Amino acid sequence: MTHRVFGAATTFEVYQWHKSLGFAALALTAIRLAARARFSAPEPTPGFDGRLARAVQASFYVLTLLSIGAGWLVVSASPLPVPTRFFGLFVIPNLAPPDAALFACGALAHRFAAYAIAALFALHVAGALKHQFVDRDDAFGRMLPPRRKT
């Protein structure tokens, strides 16, 4: 998004969509965390794989919240005060007034979290493939909802 050259109107629209999707992800993450608090998760694989899976899952939650929070801080502290319009419906309030140092810290944290999420995603896919093709266990079956018998 930051490396493409668009006209001003398209750039504004792309950023508004990015910010709106970030706030939608925040709402979905909050719902998911509430569900995890209310309902127990399936039993993880025992041993190192299970501990790694729990650490990766917890890291996904932490990094998702960090990325969204840092992104919110970036748009709040931006020297260019452009309001965030959630899918054009209403304006999201800023967390802070414009501040160049806060903007730079938020941008770094947002970028770090995004790259870390991408790395965790690759690790997660590698683990799933290992379970499917090397271990040949039922890890995929435990992730999917039970099938109804017909």
In this structure, how many other beta carbons lie within 10 angstroms of the beta carbon of residue 68?
A: 20
Question: Does 81 or 5 have the greater pLDDT score?
Answer: 81
Per the CB < 8 A criterion, the answer to whether 127 and 54 are in contact is no
Q: Cα separation of 21 and 23, whole Å?
A: 5
Q: How far is Cα 2 from Cα 25, in angstroms, rounded to an integer?
A: 20
Q: What is the pLDDT of residues 94-150, one digit of tens each?
A: 999 999 999 999 999 999 999 999 999 999 899 888 888 998 887 777 666 666 776
Q: What is the model's pTM?
A: 0.83
